[in-house]
Amino acid sequence: MESMSKHVVYTACNNGSSGILTKEGEVYIFGKDTTHCDHATGQVTDLKDTVATQIALGKAHAVVLTDRGQVYTFGINNKGQCGRDFLPGGAVKEANNVTMAEEEEETEVEDGICPDGKHKWKRDQCMVCTVCGECTGYSLNCCNSGDKERQSAMLCGCGAGESGCSECGICRTCAGEQVLEMEDHGKQLELLARHKDYLPFDVEQLLGGNEK
């Protein structure tokens, strides 16, 4: 366990990342949401000339408040969680002194995520989610969770399961679209029926085929 040499005054965390605010107003993020950070130190590079007073982390975005009352947001904005809209041509609409870091890079990320309801879900081999960096099928419960060799949008390596969106690579959790339990249950029963001759129990009885 490592200890920072900085005097920490505020911390925040989400499922996979930790945000740290120092006495000097510096912002550091460690974990999966480090796109805007110095890879050597973890410091958020675009906030080096600001004095931050508070930080909050969402599922895949961050909000930072400065001593001047400015609010900086960065991260995935596919549901408008960063509090701003992207206009045609990549222009950014600002309001209420809300600014942003890495406008061009943020636009690229936004353009890479399918709109709500437009995802093309696939079930085959588990992949690594392009947003949270976790397994698209089992998230943090995956046997390969924490494996630093895994790459975003590549095979997770744990085996069969939810593959996420075949277009943008996001998992159902990050997209806010959970798998219906009945849908999963039906697929499990279908799989059992298909391999009933090799199973050590009566599948037909399990499926209710022998009910009188």
- Measured CA distances, 83 to 37, 72, 73, 143 (Å): 21, 10, 8, 35
- The pair of structure tokens assigned to 14 is 């989400």
- Predicted local distance difference test score (pLDDT) of residue 69: 92
Tell me the mean pLDDT per 10 residues along the chain, length 212: 76 89 94 85 92 91 92 81 57 43 42 81 92 88 86 90 91 76 54 62 59 45
- Predicted local distance difference test score (pLDDT) of residue 63: 93
- Predicted local distance difference test score (pLDDT) of residue 173: 85
Instruction: Report the DSSP pairing between strands 71-75 and 61-66.
Output: antiparallel
| H or E element in which residue 72 lies | strand 71-75
